[in-house]
Amino acid sequence: MTTEITQTLRRVLRRSRPAEVGTVARPEEPPRPAVPAPCPVDIAPDDPLVHYFQSTAGSVELDTLELDSPALEELRAAGVKMVVPLVSQGELIGVLNLGPRLSEQEYSSDDRRLLDNLAAQAAPAVRVGQLVREQEVEARTRERFEQELQVARLIQQNFLPRDLPDLPGWQIEAYYRPAREVGGDFYDVIALPKGQVGFVVGDVTDKGVPAALVMAATRSVLRASAQRIVEPGEVLERINEHLCPDMPPKMFVTCLYGVLDPASGRLRFANAGHNLPYVRTDDGVIELRARGMPLGLMPGMKYEEKEAVLAPGQSVLLHSDGLVEAHNPAREMFGFPRLMGLVAGHRRGSDLIDHLLAELDSFTGPGWEQEDDITLVALERSASSAVSASFPGGAGDVAASPASGNGDESRTLAEFELPSRQGNERLAIERVQGAVAELALPAARLERLKTAVGEATMNAMEHGNGYRADAPVRLAVLASDTDVSVRITDEGGGREIPDAETPDLEAKLAGLQTPRGWGLFLIKNMVDQMEVSSDDKHHTIELSLHLKGGGDVTE
Amino acid sequence: MSPSELRTTVRAIGDAAVIDMRGEIDGSAEAAMDAGYGEAAAGGQATIVLNFEAVDYINSTGIAVIVGLLARARRDGRTITACGLMDHYREIFEITRLADFMPIFDDEAGAVSDVTARTA
């Protein structure tokens, strides 16, 4: 509020001229060039003069005013004799500054009455003027924002495929719905040599035009690379190399890319940190896992390539965050388990995406404002042949046992990798926090988990990987009905893990020991259980916390 | 996500020097904390209040920085107290026993009135 007053004061001051003193009642008189234009005087919001004007009624003669005020000195120096505060609804909105009368006589009581009357009428008019101007500015800002949204939407729409290919023996569906503030979702279906088809779902962090531009770049490189390079992992590698040099800070792209051979149902895929695709089989839902870091974080990344075979009657769903992270009015999240359950229970041959959207609709209820872009791509192999080949063991070791989506066993909430780079523990904390959001941990437990994950990730990057940029730290977030656990793996296998000893604070304070060495001790005290394991290549620390617990200091 | 580097400003309130800290306390906060301590010590007050009100993140390397500061204060014969900590970090200060060597107050008013009471 005080800044508004200062701005108003400045504005009004700038317009008032001592020359206009005599012309108040005769505005048609031309300005007299002999009187110099005054410099505007800035009145600081905490200047006692502001308070004085606010509390005083009527015009103020500066010559007789006794106040310890820098602004008062400045006004006097600028030749101002009289100030008439403009007060509207008890609020000081400006002042009229008057120099000496041209007749060089003092202001009479008639003059002052006239000025007070004028101020009383001018104040509300000035206030209306101010409000109109504020609204104009606001409207312009809104318009600019809307225009930007429009541009982002246009970019987005122009880079999504217009038609989906017709694949005999397969049903392909795709769905994309932008949030009001367009996010960076995209999908693509690409015809490849030898009758193969590429499927892409991706998500650029951030929103609006910047995200749309990065999405457009990603998609263009992907399209070009996919025609020349057969291996999905190599395609992602290529995109990553292209994106890295020009990526705006804090932005990255998650992306799942799969190549389907429609004749055999063989799907080769690689994943740059995107949500895992779900495959519906007769025995439940299987997650397709392949390791890889999001695109654009750092160059030189490799992307694991896996392979699965879709049997007749089976379907696979690729999806972005918008669906699983939707909230209902009770602030519960749609969540992965619900989605898995729906995919598991879905009838073959019917429209999976319609089914999911209907469920989303009843979950969020009417009047829901979509929080993020929603992108879904589903493909189903027609059950024309009775062969019910499921995923052959060893064929790319499609991990995970079938999950019904609501079982008691532990399920994976997130899996990702981070380069070993100073400060990346913050990224780990952020992503783990996002992954466990659906568990609604008590605040104190969540904070403990965050601290433990940050410390363990730092240890992994420093002691395990020696902050070598090409050695990633792998994190997996798992949940059961009672616990949440985070597995953090580095590439420092074969080393001894020291026990979490209690640091000797007295010795540290006396300068007998280094002040450092708190990490492991902190981790151990933050979690309910900590287990370390290593082989000759890797070292893993698993942190577990009960979802609910007693005995907490802050709960 | 962006590591917001710690900034410190020092105010004298009666017999205490209050160091206002803003940002994150990790290993990189050492220079700012040292500078804050130096400025506070120059004022001559025997008690320095660390105001954590605007600190949203502390990790183990930040704890090491605070321990270093406490060690320095001990050599100089100064008392350090703390105020404005988030519950979580207060818990951590208790677990690490930092709280045994650095009295913790809910807010600045509490910390300052404690100094006044002790020096009265």
Inside any domain, residue B120: no
Q: Which two tokens stand for residue B95?
A: 């677990």
Inside any domain, residue B2: no
Q: Is the pLDDT of residue A151 over 60?
A: yes
What percent of chain A has pLDDT above 90?
A: 36
Q: Are A259 and A200 in contact (CB under 8 A)?
A: no
Inside any domain, residue B59: yes
| Interchain pair B91, A444: CB under 8 A | yes
Nearest chain B residue (CA) to A427:
B1
Q: Is the pLDDT of residue A345 over 80?
A: yes
Residue A402 pLDDT: 39
Residue A37 pLDDT: 54
Residue A404 pLDDT: 39
Among the partner-chain residues A426, A455, A553, the one whose CB lies closest to the CB of B1 is A426
Q: CB neighbours of A97 closer than 8 A, spacing ≥ 6? A: A12, A13, A16, A18, A38, A41, A75, A78, A80, A82, A83
Residue A36 pLDDT: 52
* Angle formed at CA B57 by CA A506 and CA B36, multiple of 5 degrees: 65
| Interchain pair B101, A505: CB under 8 A | yes
Inside any domain, residue B86: yes
pLDDT tens digit string along A16-36?
A: 444 333 333 334 444 444 455
Q: Which two tokens stand for residue A5?
A: 């007053």
| Domain limits for position B107 | 7-113
| Interchain pair B95, A554: CB under 8 A | no
Q: Is the pLDDT of residue B105 over 70?
A: yes
Average pLDDT over every residue of A211-221 = 90
Q: Which of A257, A253, A181, A258 is nearest to A218 (CA)?
A: A253
A526 CA: distance to closest CA in chain B (Å) = 9
Return residue ranges of chain A for CATH 3.30.565.10: 413-546
Sheet containing A91-98: which strands, arranged edge to edge? A60-61, A82-88, A91-98
Inside any domain, residue B25: yes
Return residue ranges of chain A for CATH 3.60.40.10: 159-323+372-385
Number of CB atoms found within 10 A of residue A92's CB: 20
B67 CA: distance to closest CA in chain A (Å) = 6
Nearest chain B residue (CA) to A523:
B60
Q: Is the pLDDT of residue B11 over 80?
A: yes
Average pLDDT over every residue of B20-42 = 94
Residue B1 pLDDT: 34
Residue A25 pLDDT: 34
* Angle formed at CA A131 by CA A125 and CA A137, multiple of 5 degrees: 140
Residue A234 pLDDT: 95
Least confident residue range of A113-122, A337-346, A385-394, B70-79: A385-394
Average pLDDT over every residue of A213-220 = 90
pLDDT tens digit string along A350-362?
A: 788 989 999 999 9
Q: Are A306 and A312 in contact (CB under 8 A)?
A: no
pLDDT tens digit string along A517-549?
A: 899 999 999 999 888 888 778 899 999 999 987
Query: What's the burial of A184, exposed, middle or buried (CB within 10 Å: 0-12/13-18/19+)?
Result: buried
Residue A254 pLDDT: 95
Do strands B79-83 and B47-58 pair parallel, antiparallel, or not at all (unpaired)? parallel
Query: What's the burial of A483, exposed, middle or buried (CB within 10 Å: 0-12/13-18/19+)?
Result: middle
| Total number of domains constituting chain B | 1
Confidence of residue A155 (pLDDT cuts 50, 70, 90): confident
Confidence of residue B115 (pLDDT cuts 50, 70, 90): confident
- Within 8 A of B97 by CB-CB distance, chain A residues are 505
Residue A398 pLDDT: 36
| Long-range contacts from A271-277, C-beta under 8 angstroms, 24+ separation | A271/A303, A271/A304, A272/A236, A272/A239, A272/A240, A272/A303, A273/A416, A273/A417, A274/A201, A274/A202, A274/A203, A274/A320, A275/A201, A275/A318, A275/A319, A275/A320, A275/A321, A275/A324, A276/A412, A276/A415, A277/A316, A277/A317, A277/A318, A277/A319
pLDDT tens digit string along B46-92?
A: 899 999 999 999 999 999 999 999 999 999 999 999 999 999 999 99
Identify the residue with better confidence: A12 or A58.
A58
Q: Are A353 and A376 in contact (CB under 8 A)?
A: yes
Confidence of residue A399 (pLDDT cuts 50, 70, 90): very low
According to CATH, the topology of domain A2-134 is: Beta-Lactamase (3.30.450)
Residues 53-82 of chain B whose Cβ lies under 8 A from any Cβ of chain A? 57, 59-61, 63-65, 67-68, 70-71, 74-75
Q: Which of A385, A477, A367 is nearest to A428 (CA)?
A: A477
According to CATH, the topology of domain A159-323+372-385 is: Phosphatase 2c; domain 1 (3.60.40)
Residue A460 pLDDT: 93
Q: Give the C-alpha separation, A243 to A228, whole Å.
A: 18
Q: Which of A317, A319, A305 is nearest to A203 (CA)?
A: A319
pLDDT tens digit string along A486-496?
A: 999 999 877 66
Inside any domain, residue B119: no
Confidence of residue A67 (pLDDT cuts 50, 70, 90): confident
A516 CA: distance to closest CA in chain B (Å) = 5
Q: Please report, as a single letter, which amino acid is at residue A289.
A: R
Nearest chain A residue (CA) to B89:
A447
Q: Which two tokens stand for residue B74?
A: 């001990």
The CATH class of A413-546 is alpha beta
Q: Which two tokens stand for residue A125?
A: 């008019």
| Interchain pair B75, A423: CB under 8 A | no
| Interchain pair B60, A522: CB under 8 A | yes
Tell me, yes or no, if B95 comes closer than 8 A to chain A by beta carbon: yes
Helices of type H across A244-291: none
Identify the residue with better confidence: B76 or B120.
B76
Return residue ranges of chain A for CATH 3.30.450: 2-134
Q: Is the pLDDT of residue A379 over 80?
A: yes
Residue A181 pLDDT: 79
Inside any domain, residue B1: no
From chain A, which residues contact B within 8 Å (Cβ)? 249-250, 423, 425-427, 430, 444, 447-448, 451, 454-455, 458, 503, 505, 508-511, 514-519, 521-522, 525, 553-554
Residue A495 pLDDT: 67
Average pLDDT over every residue of A230-234 = 94
Q: Is the pLDDT of residue A164 over 60?
A: yes
CATH number of the domain within which B75 lies: 3.30.750.24
Residue A39 pLDDT: 61
What percent of chain B has pLDDT above 70?
A: 96
